[in-house]
């Protein structure tokens, strides 16, 4: 399963970013073979609609679950329509790696 986590850096050890549309990086992670890749979030350079263009990026990359601190109403609408599940974390001081582990053990909040 392909998941994508908003991140403050481009490594698994970096802190996850609580912001979705305006996060610095996205880490794409494949839970099947544990491969991953970091993408610089291009939406941060846009003046508006960053949540929507980030959602579009998820859809274009075959993501099945998006993970962030929260999701705005536009991102929520776009991701829902695209059939992408949303999960949120409460603790902003966790690394991407820890968030992935939390996702795999089912301890993240499902965002509806």
Partner 1 sequence: MKIAVASGKGGTGKTMISTSLASSLAGEFPIRFLDCDVEAPNAHLFLKPEIKETLPAVILLPEITMELCTLCGICVEVCEYNALAKVGTKILVFPQLCHGCGSCTLQCPVGAITEYPRPIGTISKGVTDDNIIFGMGELTISEPMPTPIINQLKTQFHNNDVVTILDSPPGASCAVVATIHDADFVLLVTEPTPFGLHDLKQMLGVLSETDTPSGVIINRDGIGDAKVEDYLAEQSIPILMKIPYQETIAEGLAMGHLLTEIMPSYKSEFTKMFQQIIELSRQKETP
Tracing tokens 């698994």 back to the chain, one arrives at 12
* Stretch in the footprint of partner 1 (CB under 8 A) among 10-18, 41-49, 62-70, 99-107: 41-49
Torsional sign, CA 68, 70, 75, 78: positive
| Residue 25 falls in which region: left (phi positive, over 0), alpha (psi -120 to 50) or beta | beta
Out of 8, 77, 88, 97, name the contact with partner 1 by CB under 8 A: 77
Q: What is the rounded distance in angstroms from the CA atom of residue 2 to the CA atom of residue 86? A: 13
- Whole-number minimum distance, CB 75 to partner 1, in Å? 10
- Between 14 and 85, whose beta carbon lies closer to partner 1? 85
Residue where the block lists tokens 């795999």: 104
Interaction between residue 85 and partner 1 (CB under 8 A):
no
- Binding window for partner 1 (CB under 8 A); candidates: 11-19, 42-50, 62-70, 90-98: 42-50
Can you tell me the distance from the alpha carbon of 56 to that of 11, in angstroms, rounded to the nearest whole number?
A: 22
Residue 66 lies near partner 1 (rule: CB under 8 A): no
Instruction: Report, in Å, the least distance between residue 106 CB and partner 1.
Output: 26
């Amino acid at each position: 399963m392909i998941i994508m986590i908003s991140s403050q850096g481009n490594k698994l050890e970096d802190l996850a970013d609580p912001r979705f549309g305006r996060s610095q990086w996205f880490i794409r992670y494949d839970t099947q073979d544990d491969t991953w890749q970091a993408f610089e979030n291009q939406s941060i350079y846009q003046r508006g609609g960053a949540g929507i263009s980030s959602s579009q990026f998820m859809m274009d990359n075959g993501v099945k679950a998006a993970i962030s601190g929260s999701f705005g109403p536009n991102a929520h609408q776009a991701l829902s329509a695209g059939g992408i599940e949303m999960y949120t974390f409460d603790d902003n001081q966790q690394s991407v790696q820890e968030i992935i582990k939390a996702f795999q053990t089912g301890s993240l909040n499902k965002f509806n």
